[in-house]
């Protein structure tokens, strides 16, 4: 089955139990998270103005930085760019999920979130780090990148160097940052903006929607009798487009509020 609407996203395979723990996983009725003390607003340099870019819930937003570096800002994500960006200060602040294609330069490029800091000269990578969630990830597509904690850790402040096919899983609640591997083709599929769903049950579908759209998913009711999605492809589709189509097949209703989706069977 093929379905085509207007403008969005992709999906990474889960790293099993560890990944669900580190990245926040799926919320099953009642799990709560709280914003950490190292909030993005406190990461700004005093006296410097910032241009704020905000992603729309369920859609991607393309941003071009002053040096022509490109950013794909995922659902309900926020990117802060300082006014002195071109004066040797290629340092941005992220609260959310975004892909960066950084133009090479002698000046380093840094993305800082409440949990992680990634530094490059010119490369392509994806970072997900919402202040409202304890988990965070960084996937390197090309080049090299140095990733470390953006807060002081009582146990380990040593950064990691990533190459293609490597990633970071982090969780500030348990003060853990792990270097893992992934298949780069998964990120390339995300960039192609073609979401394919094959023989997927409701639980797996929820994880897929979380990673593809950068949202939090809560499931309610009994999903055990819902049929698996056999074969579906969504081209440049919004979250609403996908949910409307799949809701008819799996017999669920949904609500979207801020960056959270509640699916009720």
Whether 63 and 112 share a structural domain: yes
CATH of the domain at 253: 3.55.50.30
**218, 175: one domain:** no
In tens, the pLDDT along 210-262 reads 989 999 999 999 988 888 888 899 999 999 999 999 999 888 999 999 889 99
- Of 139, 8, 105, the closest CA to residue 62 belongs to 8
Q: Are residues 40 and 168 in the same domain?
A: yes
Q: How many domains does the chain have?
A: 2
The whole-model pTM stands at 0.84
Encode pLDDT of 92-117 as tens digits. 999 999 999 999 999 999 999 999 99
* Dihedral (CA of 236, 182, 71, 58) sign: positive
Q: Are residues 151 and 39 in the same domain?
A: yes
Alpha-carbon span 265 to 252, nearest angstrom: 5
Among candidate residues 137, 156, 183, the one where a domain is terminated? 183
What's the domain range around 108? 33-183
Strand partners, 126: 99, 139
Beta-bridge partner residues of 156: none
Same domain, 98 and 111: yes
Question: Are residues 110 and 215 located together in one domain of the fold?
Answer: no
């Amino acid at each position: 089955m093929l379905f085509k609407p207007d403008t969005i996203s992709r999906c990474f395979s889960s790293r099993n139990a560890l990944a669900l723990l580190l990245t926040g996983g799926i919320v099953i009725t009642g799990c709560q998270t709280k914003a950490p003390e190292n909030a993005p607003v406190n990461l700004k340099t005093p006296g410097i103005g910032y241009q704020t870019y905000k992603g729309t819930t369920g859609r991607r937003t393309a941003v071009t930085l002053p040096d022509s570096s490109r950013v794909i800002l995922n659902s309900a994500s926020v990117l802060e760019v300082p006014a002195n960006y071109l004066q040797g200060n290629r340092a941005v602040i992220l609260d959310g999920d975004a892909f960066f294609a950084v133009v090479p330069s002698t000046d380093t490029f840094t993305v800082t979130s409440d949990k992680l800091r990634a530094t490059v000269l010119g490369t392509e990578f994806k970072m997900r780090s919402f202040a409202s969630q304890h988990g965070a990830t960084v996937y390197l597509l090309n080049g090299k990148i140095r990733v470390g904690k953006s807060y002081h850790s009582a146990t380990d402040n040593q950064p990691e160097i990533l190459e293609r096919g490597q990633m970071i899983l982090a969780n500030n609640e348990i003060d853990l940052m792990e270097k893992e591997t992934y298949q780069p083709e998964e990120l390339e599929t995300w960039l192609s903006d073609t979401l394919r769903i094959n023989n997927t049950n409701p639980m797996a579908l929820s994880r897929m929607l979380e990673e593809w759209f950068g949202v939090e998913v809560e499931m309610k009711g009994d999903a055990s009798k819902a049929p698996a999605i056999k074969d579906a492809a969504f081209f440049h589709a919004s979250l609403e487009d996908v949910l409307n189509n799949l809701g008819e097949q799996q017999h669920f209703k949904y609500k979207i509020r801020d960056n959270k989706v509640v699916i009720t069977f």
